[in-house]
Chains A and B, each alone.
Chain A
């Protein structure tokens, strides 16, 4: 091993000193929202040096559902949906992915790292018994990989609008595709050059809610203002989203959506898939005909008209009912 050079000060912007609470905050958000209930318990979980914020709703002795949120979300986006599952007799466990919500910001982010982090949550939550894993959006896509990497960890897999299948730029001529990709890459590199000094832009609750509405155009402002109280923190100059400022929407890379879809036919546990058919900026645009031929042997699939990407936020009661009735029909083996 090469000796490491002793640390030399670089002109880094000092990290603001924020005293970490003993557990991730689950107190009142300052704004009520119908049906929203903050978690019953929270704790920090060390996943190989990073602390993730873990939250639970429901009876701690009940069977476990682990909920994995999507990119740019956080566990608090389950504040209406998870209590419905908990009230249905389940111990609902969710967590803020690295860089999201109250979890630590990391130097690096990747699909593989997210996959590893979920496994470490499962290690802690249910080291012996398989659990129900429910993933929304990217959380659903990563869960498909988990179901192949460690199938013994799962009793059921629920996927809420997290089935990537759309091919990128299907109708573009090669030279247009090259120009588009170039714009994405240089835009991302320019962002990376500036990111060391970046902070999330401060604002009022309403301003943050309105900004988030660009990603969540079908969400009502009252819900988004509620989320500010969960996923943002108030500083002297206003509220700022907690999410790591180095994270950026969009992206590029070698990953192909169809690679996720190719995981679907091999799922060996009961599978419930739900698509919201209203196109949204955060969704995949996956069509039912992309999914149906790939469904595994034991599967239920619902493609919902008039619902967007955030199916469990737009229709929490009916999606919770779908999940609970699916679990009733496919009981956990004793």
Chain B
């Protein structure tokens, strides 16, 4: 990993975009799982990607800003990913866990710039279910700027993910993407939101190496 990340701004947050590998062609953007950070080197499972590889530390994770007072939502983290897409121009996005959910969202929101999303297992894949549970108050008394932010861990493991909401992003992806099969699901675990995604026409279920090979060849 290049020692100094590219620093991006998203609102008041400063985000670290790590360059894991230089190269030519369309970049692969890695999104870590909940509580993780961008790995220090190119993970073996994406080593076959032919182009450059970047990894984004989401707000409250890795080297990115740890905000005061929490308030995390998947949608605001989609804004983090959008800042990286704006910087890279175009990318294939591979997400682990929470990052897989974010990959789905950004794929639907920016279907022209995102050239394929790959959804894989990882921390934060399940989220908080399809409807709110009994409300509770999540308080953290020792969140003194440490990373990962305890508020992120607490709030993003409870965020509600209704299947029809996830499906909206699939439909936006299908509507706006030039690719015939822009979503590849490699995760083995299938929370309800992901089961609904897999059931949509055009979504491909395949091993990770096959998904990467598929998106590496599209222009």
Interface size class of A (residues with CB under 8 A): 35 or more
The answer to whether B69 touches A47, judged by C-beta atoms less than 8 angstroms apart, is yes
Any chain A CB within 8 A of the CB of B33? no
Q: Closest CB-CB distance, B100 to chain A, in whole Å? A: 16
Contact indicator A192/B68 (Cβ below 8 Å)? no
Encode contact with A along B37-60: 1 for CB under 8 Å, 0 otherwise. Answer: 100000000000000000000010
Bits for A5-22, please: 1 = Cβ < 8 Å to B, else 0.
100101010000000000
CB neighbours of B69 from chain A (8 A): 47-50, 98, 106, 108, 113, 117
Task: Contact check, B131 vs A149: say whether CB atoms are below 8 A apart.
Answer: no
By the criterion CB–CB under 8 Å, are A196 and B160 in contact?
Answer: no
A148–B135 contact, CB under 8 A?
A: yes
Chain B residues near A174 (CB, 8 Å)?
171
Asked if A181 lies at the interface with its beta carbon under 8 angstroms from chain B, I say: yes
A189 CB-CB contact with B under 8 Å = yes
Is B155 in contact with A110, judged by CB distance below 8 angstroms? yes
- The reply to whether the CB of B65 lies closer than 8 angstroms to some CB of chain A is yes
Which residues of chain B are within 8 angstroms of A47 by Cβ–Cβ distance? Answer: 69
Evaluate contact between B110 and A189: CB separation under 8 angstroms.
Answer: yes
Asked if A5 and B175 sit within 8 Å, CB to CB, the answer is: no
Total CB contacts across the A-B interface at under 8 A = 144
Q: How far is the CB of B78 from chain A (nearest CB, A)?
A: 7
A185 at the interface (CB under 8 A from B): yes
With contact pairs A10-B7, A50-B68, A107-B71 given, residues A4 and B147 touching in the complex (Cβ less than 8 Å):
yes
Asked if A254 meets B160 with Cβ closer than 8 Å, knowing A1-B147, A107-B11, the reply is: yes
Output the least CB separation between A181 and chain B (Å). 6
Q: What B residues does A189 contact at CB under 8 A?
A: 78-79, 82, 109-110
Within 8 Å of chain A (Cβ to Cβ): is B180?
Answer: no
Alpha-carbon gap, A110 to B146, bound state (A):
20
For residue A237, give the distance in angstroms from its CB to the closest CB of chain B. Answer: 23
Nearest Cβ on chain B to A141's Cβ, whole angstroms: 11
Partner of B137, one of A1, A119, A252, A259: A119
Can you name the residue of chain B whose Cβ is closest to the Cβ of A259?
Answer: B132
| A334 within 8 Å of B (CB atoms) | no
A281-295: which residues lie under 8 A (CB-CB) from chain B? none
Nearest chain B CB to A7 CB, angstrom units = 9
The residue that B14 contacts in the complex, of A10, A150, A185, with Cβ under 8 A, is A10
B81-101 residues with Cβ-Cβ distance < 8 A to A are 82-83, 86
Chain A window 192-206, contacts with chain B (Cβ cutoff 8 Å), 1 for yes, 0 for no: 110110000000000
Question: Which residues in B have some Cβ–Cβ distance to A below 8 Å?
Answer: 4-5, 7, 9-14, 16, 37, 59, 62-63, 65, 67-73, 75-76, 78-79, 82-83, 86, 108-110, 131-132, 134-140, 143, 145-147, 155, 158-162, 165, 168, 171-172, 175-176
- A positions within 8 Å CB-CB of B: 1-2, 4-5, 8, 10, 12, 47-50, 98, 105-110, 112-113, 115-117, 119, 145-146, 148-150, 174-175, 177-179, 181-182, 185-186, 188-189, 192-193, 195-196, 246, 252-256, 259, 263
